[in-house]
Structure 1
Amino acid sequence: MAQAMKIAIVDDEQDMRQSISQWLALSGYDTETFASAEEALKVLGADYPGIVISDIKMPGMDGMQFLKKLMGSDSGLPVIMITGHGDVPMAVEAMRVGAFDFLEKPFNPDRMSELAKRATGARRLTLDNRALRRELSDGSQIMKKLIGMSPVMERLREDILDLGQADGHVLIDGETGTGKTLVAHALHAVGSRAGKKFVLISCSALEEDALSKRLFGPMQPEDSLLPAMEEARGGTLVLEGIEALSETLQAKLLSAINEQGTPGETRIIAISNLQEAGKTCEDTLRSDLFYRLAALRIMVPPLRQRGEDILTLFTRLCEQFAEEYGCDAPQVSAQEAAQLLQAPWPGNVRQLINVAERAVLQARRGSGTIASLLMSDHEEMQPVMTTEGKPLKEYVEAFERMLIDNTMRRHKGSIASVMEELCLPRRTLNEKMAKYALQRSDYLG
Structure 2
Amino acid sequence: MAQAMKIAIVDDEQDMRQSISQWLALSGYDTETFSSAEDALRVLGPEYPGIVISDIKMPGMDGMQFLKKLMGNDSALPVIMITGHGDVPMAVEAMRVGAFDFLEKPFNPDRMSDLAKRATGARRLVMDSRALRRELSDGSQLMSKLIGASPVMMRLKEDILDLGQADGHVLIDGETGTGKTLVAHALHAVGSRAGKKFVLVSCNAFEEEALSKRLFGPMMPEDGQLPAIEEARGGTLVLEDIEALTDTMQARLLSVINEQGTPAETRIIAISNLQEAGRTCEDALRSDLFYRLAALRITLPPLRTRGEDILTLFTRLSEQFAEEYGCEAPQVSAQEAAQLLQAPWPGNVRQLINIAERAVLQSRRGSGTIASLLMSDHEDMQPVMTTEGKPLKEYVEAFERMLIDNTMRRHRGSIASVMDELCLPRRTLNEKMAKYGLQRSDYI
> Which residue of structure 2 lines up, in the alignment, with residue 413 of structure 1?
413
User: Is 1:330 the counterpart of 2:368 in the alignment?
Assistant: no
> Which residue of structure 1 lines up, in the alignment, with residue 205 of structure 2?
205
Gaps of 5+ in 1: none
Deviation at 1:63, TM superposition (A): 1.1
Partners of 1:363 and 1:137 lie apart in 2 by 36
Quick one: percent identity of the two aligned structures? Answer: 90
Deviation at 1:384, TM superposition (A): 9.8
Over 3 Å counting, the alpha-carbon distance change for 1:86 and 1:311 in structure 2 is same
Contact 1:376 1:382 in 2 (8 A): no
> Which residue of structure 2 lines up, in the alignment, with residue 15 of structure 1?
15
Partners of 1:263 and 1:353 lie apart in 2 by 39
> Which residue of structure 2 lines up, in the alignment, with residue 109 of structure 1?
109
Contact 2:170 2:294 in 1 (8 A): yes
Partners of 2:15 and 2:124 lie apart in 1 by 29
Q: Which moves more between the two structures, 73-82 or 228-237?
A: 73-82
> Which residue of structure 2 lines up, in the alignment, with residue 44 of structure 1?
44
Partners of 1:303 and 1:208 lie apart in 2 by 34
Partners of 2:192 and 2:434 lie apart in 1 by 36
User: Is 1:430 the counterpart of 2:430 in the alignment?
Assistant: yes
Contact 1:344 1:384 in 2 (8 A): no
Partners of 1:228 and 1:250 lie apart in 2 by 15
Partners of 2:377 and 2:322 lie apart in 1 by 26
Alignment of 1:267-282 (within 5 A): 267-274=267-274, 277-282=277-282
Tell me the secondary structure at the aligned position of residue 222 of structure 1: helix
Over 3 Å counting, the alpha-carbon distance change for 1:10 and 1:289 in structure 2 is same
Contact 1:139 1:190 in 2 (8 A): yes
Residues matched between the structures, number: 444
Contact 1:344 1:386 in 2 (8 A): no
Deviation at 1:76, TM superposition (A): 1.3
Partners of 1:336 and 1:378 lie apart in 2 by 14
The AA in structure 2 aligned to 1:282 is E
> Which residue of structure 1 lines up, in the alignment, with residue 220 of structure 2?
220
Runs of 4+ in 1 over 4 A off after TM superposition: 377-386
Partners of 1:127 and 1:195 lie apart in 2 by 20
> Which residue of structure 2 lines up, in the alignment, with residue 149 of structure 1?
149
Contact 2:318 2:330 in 1 (8 A): yes
Tell me the secondary structure at the aligned position of residue 200 of structure 2: strand
Tell me the secondary structure at the aligned position of residue 204 of structure 2: coil
> Which residue of structure 2 lines up, in the alignment, with residue 158 of structure 1?
158
When the two chains are superposed, the root-mean-square deviation of aligned CA atoms in Å is 1.4
Deviations, residues 292-322 of structure 1 (Å, cap 9, x unaligned) = 1110000011100100000000000000000
> Which residue of structure 2 lines up, in the alignment, with residue 404 of structure 1?
404
Tell me the secondary structure at the aligned position of residue 70 of structure 1: helix
Deviation at 1:264, TM superposition (A): 3.4
Contact 1:169 1:269 in 2 (8 A): yes
The AA in structure 1 aligned to 2:331 is Q
Contact 1:376 1:383 in 2 (8 A): no
> Which residue of structure 2 lines up, in the alignment, with residue 126 of structure 1?
126
The AA in structure 1 aligned to 2:143 is M
The AA in structure 2 aligned to 1:334 is A
Contact 1:169 1:263 in 2 (8 A): no
Partners of 1:238 and 1:102 lie apart in 2 by 42
Q: Which moves more between the two structures, 88-97 or 16-25?
A: 88-97
The AA in structure 1 aligned to 2:166 is A
Deviation at 1:385, TM superposition (A): 6.2
Gaps of 5+ in 2: none
The AA in structure 2 aligned to 1:114 is D
Alignment of 1:12-411 (within 5 A): 12-274=12-274, 277-376=277-376, 379=379, 383=383, 387-411=387-411
Deviations, residues 220-273 of structure 1 (Å, cap 9, x unaligned) = 012221111011011000001111111111111111111122343100000001
Over 3 Å counting, the alpha-carbon distance change for 1:377 and 1:394 in structure 2 is closer
Partners of 2:249 and 2:107 lie apart in 1 by 55
Contact 2:214 2:228 in 1 (8 A): yes
Deviation at 1:215, TM superposition (A): 0.6
The AA in structure 2 aligned to 1:223 is D
Over 3 Å counting, the alpha-carbon distance change for 1:284 and 1:7 in structure 2 is same
Partners of 1:377 and 1:235 lie apart in 2 by 41
Over 3 Å counting, the alpha-carbon distance change for 1:206 and 1:323 in structure 2 is same
Contact 2:343 2:387 in 1 (8 A): no
Partners of 2:207 and 2:159 lie apart in 1 by 34
Q: TM-score under structure 2 normalisation?
A: 0.98
Contact 2:343 2:381 in 1 (8 A): no
